[in-house]
Chains A and B, each alone.
Chain A
Amino acid sequence: MKFRILAYLFFFIGIADLFTKIFYGNIFSDLTEDYYEIANPILVFTPVLFFSIGGIFLKESKVSLTLENFGTSRIKYYSPQFICLTIVVLIFLFFTFNAQINMENRGIDFGFDFLSQEASFDMQFSLMDYDGQDPYWWAYVVALLNTLLVAVLGIIFCTIIGVIVGIARLSPNFLIRNTAAWYVEFFRNIPLLLQIFFWYYAALRALPLPQDASPLFGVTYLTIKGYYMPAFIWNNLNIFTYSVLAAIISIIFIRYYAIKLRDTEGKQLPVFYISIAILIILPALTFLIGGVSLDFEIPVLKQLSATSFIYDGGIAVPPELIALTLALSLYTATFVAECVRAGIQGISKGQKEAAASLGLTPNQVLKLVIMPQALRIIIPPTTNQYLNLTKNSSLAAAIAYPDLVLVFAGTALMQTGRAIEIVSITMLTYLSISLAIAALMNWYNKLIEIKEK
């Protein structure tokens, strides 16, 4: 126990030492020049030394467990690790050493204080209020939201398309099967960047100008400057929200009750239809008696100058967002489709036949027997694809959609010149999104894995 505490202590000191060296230079650099010159090469190794001592203590604390697996000598066990650590730390220190000199030469200091400075650039499109007077950190948040918006839209659409195509690939119909297969082969084998360019520069540029556009579904306009939709204006929105919440809660209770009824009396309630009915009727009632009403703000054509027109009011979806969502969802849908197909094919035919022979209806077979098993195969690789989609959404920078990479690693980097800070913040953001989703997926995998006795 004593050994273990000592080990952790040394690890901590090692990490702290490394970080001070990276961010603040050598702690002993205040000493006179001569001493510094001599001591520097040795001081470089202090983190390795701390790590190694910590490692040895940790090893000693449970020495009887593992050492015998490693043949005869302790040198064989410790020396490779020591060499590896030394190399890694050396590389780190080499980089930080150079970075310090380079930054000194260029007159930049390291630090994150620039985040509170005024950003003074504009964004084409943002979900939250943003203008040039806001600080950099707010620009970061707004850009991150834009990235997440593309990711969420892409995930929704790619799931819908992917599931349909995946099921279509297993259809008994020859034509449907092959159409789906060609869709997958076609979109999967063209680089995503080209697809984004194609939609943005070629396909969407063929759309009409705002003044020539004919309405789609009566009130929306698809033009070269984007997609204009009516915006909702709610009266007494909170009453409506409460009614939806109440509907959801009552559905949960009904499901619970239905399961109990099934277990005790063996009766089946049509839960699905009841839920849908509640979800429609309750909010609809608030329109009649709760004083809720809904208005639309319909986009109207407005003349800016002699030849320039624009639609005013309503929601405007910029063409960059449309192109990006289209390309991302069409591309990722091919991979999702393959996951879905593999999942359904992974269930043996015997399962279906056994369920049918128990007297379950085809719908029940699908819902109670096939889907729960297929989902177990489908979900992990599909989550991976969602992750890829989120990472690929960074290609937005190529068509000037204001996402994290364009705004932060592009414009903000140009303005401040803080290359190291900004690129590391951007990378760490994506990394933490990835790691968070991966952790969530591991947890989910543990939850659904087959529990054997």
Chain B
Amino acid sequence: MSKFTFLKSDRSNIQTVLITGVFLITISILDVFLNSFFKFNLMSFLPDKISLVAPLLFGMIGMQLIRIEYSGNKYLDILNKNINNSKFNAALTLLIIFLIFKAIPPSLSWMILDANISGETKDACTGTGACWTYIKVWFRRFMYGMYPNEQHWRINTAFLLVIGLGTFGLFATEKMKKFLALYYVVIYPILAFLIIYYLISGGYFGLEWIETGAWGGLSLTFIVSFFCLIFCFPLGMILALGRRSNLPAVRYISIGYIEFWRGVPLITVLFMSSVMFPMFLPEDFFMDKLVRVIIAITLFEGAYCAEVIRGGLQSLPRGQYDAAKSLGMGYWKMHIFVILPQALKLVIPGICNTFLALVKDTPLIFVVGLAELAGMLALAKTNPKWLGFAMEGYIFAAIIFWIICYAMSKYSYNLEEKYKTER
């Protein structure tokens, strides 16, 4: 074995191994880089199959050489600890780096370098890359559906008003804080409904009436998920209390309800809303499709909400109940003033996650014929003037949904951290 001591790295020959190792790694990465960016094969003098694995081989030897424990060099130690602590990890590190280098040029050229965004028709897209003109032309449709173009200010104003009213809690004075719960549970939903009804649906105050069939795009996603959230929260609260009730009839009804809705997929619930609801209602009673869908999703998400809130109720210590009872409080007093305020604060992150799931589920309303963002994409995809741009459309929608959902999940994570420290 003594013959191979020059391959064994330690602090005595650190200069030599470091230079050799870094040189080998640089060569291997340079080879892949040149190969993928400039189509130039550095190792073309080698036979085909060997030149394919050569970068990995060189890289591995280099990595092996620079793997020195306690080398004395701060940066080398950090490197070794994080990406180069065993043969297996070194190989994976190299593979990931190679993969990134391989993946960047084609995706970059497709998305940016060869892509088109100018022009107004399909003819403008001449390059081999993506056709962002398609997105540009259809942008308003993707956002507002078939809602008439000159009326879009109504949707924007309504959303601004609803969001503005929602931030009311931030500015409330100490005196007003008492009424915040009442405001958010009762007044705010009613106000929001009225705003959306009068402004977006119209028909009053000289505004043109626009039927819900024309609503669509991302704004419909927001409308559906907003209403479902504010309605499913009280429903979930009642069901959660019912499930923890001591009265057997109430408890079994709640359990039956929750387990039923949690056991069926949302798509069958939507089918139910579109074909079964009309059968169950009086014959001359007409209910809008959008309203039916919102009711169906609310009933469905209410069950999930109930389970989240029940988790919060269960995590409260028994002492809280006993203390409230010993003060002579009845069931409702105890829950409204002692139990629910504490429990609801605990479940805010969970509710956030339920809401996230709700937003991700809304594209499903496409199956009952409401053209939400996914539905608009399906419409645009089959438009004879714009055939063949499915990829761009789905990537665009994916990016939008990803931004919304990622921001929400980060926010819920922050809330979770915040409330974790408090208790």
Which residues does A use to contact B, with CB under 8 Å? 51, 55, 66, 69-70, 77, 80-82, 84-85, 88, 94-95, 98-99, 101-103, 105, 171-176, 179, 185-186, 188-195, 197-198, 201-203, 205-206, 391-392, 394-395, 397-398, 405, 409, 413, 419-420, 423, 426-427, 430-431, 433-435, 438
Q: Known pairs A198-B394, A201-B381; list 16 more (Cβ under 8 Å).
A: A80-B247, A80-B250, A81-B249, A98-B281, A172-B82, A175-B83, A190-B401, A193-B364, A194-B398, A197-B390, A202-B391, A202-B394, A206-B391, A434-B262, A435-B263, A438-B263
Contact present for A191 and B401 (CB under 8 Å): yes
Q: Tell whether A419 pairs with B276 under 8 Å between CB atoms, given A175-B83, A186-B402.
A: yes
C-alpha spacing A431/B256, complex, angstroms: 12
Q: Tell whether A85 pairs with B265 under 8 Å between CB atoms, given A193-B364, A395-B364, A413-B275.
A: no
Which residues does B use to contact A, with CB under 8 Å? 81-83, 85, 89, 92-93, 96-97, 246-250, 253, 259-260, 262-269, 271-272, 275-276, 278-283, 359-364, 366-367, 374, 377-378, 381, 390-391, 394-395, 397-398, 401-402, 405-406, 409
C-alpha spacing A314/B39, complex, angstroms: 39
Q: Tell whether A191 pairs with B363 under 8 Å between CB atoms, given A102-B283, A173-B82, A392-B265.
A: yes
Contact present for A405 and B267 (CB under 8 Å): yes
Contact present for A173 and B92 (CB under 8 Å): yes
Residue of A nearest to B94 (CB): A175
C-alpha spacing A176/B259, complex, angstroms: 39
Residue of A nearest to B377 (CB): A197
A250 to chain B, nearest CB (A): 34
Please name all residues of chain A whose beta carbon is closer than 8 Å to the beta carbon of B377 when the two chains form the complex: 197
Please name all residues of chain B whose beta carbon is closer than 8 Å to the beta carbon of A51 when the two chains form the complex: 249
Give the 6 A-B residue pairs with the shortest CB-CB distance, closest first.
A434-B263, A81-B249, A189-B405, A391-B265, A202-B391, A431-B263
Interface centre among A95, A103, A197 (most CB of B within 10 A): A197
Contact present for B89 and A176 (CB under 8 Å): yes
B410 to chain A, nearest CB (A): 9
Contact present for B268 and A175 (CB under 8 Å): no
Q: Of A70, A101, A176, which is within 8 A of B92 by CB?
A: A176
A240 to chain B, nearest CB (A): 36
14 A-B pairs within 8 Å (CB atoms) are namely A69-B246, A80-B247, A81-B247, A173-B93, A174-B82, A174-B83, A201-B381, A202-B394, A395-B267, A427-B268, A430-B268, A431-B263, A433-B263, A434-B262
Main secondary structure of the interface of B (DSSP, over half): helix
Residue of A nearest to B407 (CB): A189
Please name all residues of chain A whose beta carbon is closer than 8 Å to the beta carbon of B97 when the two chains form the complex: 175
C-alpha spacing A278/B226, complex, angstroms: 60
Q: Please count the residue pairs between chain A and chain B whose beta carbons lie under 8 angstroms apart in the complex.
A: 165
B257 to chain A, nearest CB (A): 9
Contact present for A77 and B364 (CB under 8 Å): no
Please name all residues of chain A whose beta carbon is closer than 8 Å to the beta carbon of B82 when the two chains form the complex: 172-174
A203 to chain B, nearest CB (A): 8
Residue of A nearest to B404 (CB): A189
C-alpha spacing A209/B89, complex, angstroms: 40
Please name all residues of chain A whose beta carbon is closer than 8 Å to the beta carbon of B281 when the two chains form the complex: 98
Residue of A nearest to B381 (CB): A201
Main secondary structure of the interface of A (DSSP, over half): helix
Please name all residues of chain A whose beta carbon is closer than 8 Å to the beta carbon of B259 when the two chains form the complex: 435
A411 to chain B, nearest CB (A): 12
C-alpha spacing A85/B89, complex, angstroms: 63
Q: Of A77, A176, A189, A413, which is within 8 A of B406 by CB?
A: A189
C-alpha spacing A81/B247, complex, angstroms: 7
Contact present for B397 and A194 (CB under 8 Å): yes
C-alpha spacing A173/B364, complex, angstroms: 39
Please name all residues of chain B whose beta carbon is closer than 8 Å to the beta carbon of A433 when the two chains form the complex: 263
Contact present for A175 and B405 (CB under 8 Å): no
Q: Of B247, B262, B367, B409, which is within 8 A of A189 by CB?
A: B409
Please name all residues of chain A whose beta carbon is closer than 8 Å to the beta carbon of B280 when the two chains form the complex: 94-95, 98-99
Contact present for B83 and A426 (CB under 8 Å): no
Q: Of B283, B367, B374, which is within 8 A of A101 by CB?
A: B283
C-alpha spacing A105/B282, complex, angstroms: 12
Please name all residues of chain B whose beta carbon is closer than 8 Å to the beta carbon of A423 when the two chains form the complex: 268, 271-272, 275-276
Please name all residues of chain A whose beta carbon is closer than 8 Å to the beta carbon of B269 when the two chains form the complex: 427
Contact present for B268 and A409 (CB under 8 Å): yes
Please name all residues of chain A whose beta carbon is closer than 8 Å to the beta carbon of B282 when the two chains form the complex: 98, 101
Contact present for B374 and A70 (CB under 8 Å): no
Please name all residues of chain B whose beta carbon is closer than 8 Å to the beta carbon of A176 when the two chains form the complex: 89, 92-93, 96
Contact present for A191 and B96 (CB under 8 Å): no
Residue of A nearest to B280 (CB): A95
Q: Tell whether A98 pairs with B96 under 8 Å between CB atoms, given A197-B377, A394-B268, A430-B264.
A: no
Residue of A nearest to B247 (CB): A81
Contact present for A189 and B366 (CB under 8 Å): no
Please name all residues of chain A whose beta carbon is closer than 8 Å to the beta carbon of B246 when the two chains form the complex: 66, 69-70
Interface centre among A103, A392, A423, A438 (most CB of B within 10 A): A423
C-alpha spacing A377/B256, complex, angstroms: 27
C-alpha spacing A171/B378, complex, angstroms: 41
Contact present for B279 and A103 (CB under 8 Å): yes
Q: Of A84, A189, A202, A397, which is within 8 A of B249 by CB?
A: A84
B100 to chain A, nearest CB (A): 9
Contact present for B279 and A419 (CB under 8 Å): yes
C-alpha spacing A84/B65, complex, angstroms: 76
Please name all residues of chain B whose beta carbon is closer than 8 Å to the beta carbon of A189 when the two chains form the complex: 360, 401-402, 405-406, 409
C-alpha spacing A417/B321, complex, angstroms: 52
Q: Tell whether A172 pairs with B276 under 8 Å between CB atoms, given A202-B394, A430-B265.
A: no
Please name all residues of chain B whose beta carbon is closer than 8 Å to the beta carbon of A185 when the two chains form the complex: 406, 409
